[in-house]
Amino acid sequence: MTTKTEERTFEDAVAWLRDHGFDLIEAPGTEGRVFLKKYNCSAAIQKNGDGVRIFAYPGYMVGSEISKLVNRGYQQFLKTTKTEVPATADHLKALHQFAEELKEALALPSLYNESLGTVSESYQYDRIKDRDEPVAARPKRPWETVKVKVAAAAKKTRA
Q: Where are the domains of the chain?
A: 10-127
| pLDDT value at 90 more than 80 | yes
* Each residue's pLDDT tens digit, 118-129: 656 555 555 566
Mean predicted confidence (pLDDT) in 81-97: 89
Question: Higher confidence at residue 148 or residue 19?
Answer: 19
User: What digits encode the pLDDT tens for the residues 10-23?
Assistant: 788 888 888 888 88
pLDDT over threshold 70, residue 142? yes
Residue 46 has pLDDT above 80, yes or no: yes
Local confidence band at 9 (pLDDT 50, 70, 90 cut-offs):
confident
CATH topology of domain 10-127: TATA-Binding Protein (3.30.310)
Over 60: is that where the pLDDT of 1 sits?
no
One-letter-per-residue 3-state SS of the chain: CCCCCCCCCHHHHHHHHHHCCCEEEECCCCCCEEEEEECCEEEEEEEECCEEEEEEEEEEEECCEECEEEECCCCEEEECCCCEEECCHHHHHHHHHHHHHHHHHHCCCCCHHHHHCCCCCEECCHHHCCCCCCHHHCCCCHHHHHHHHHHHHHHHHHC
Looking at the predicted structure, is the pLDDT value of residue 30 above 60?
yes
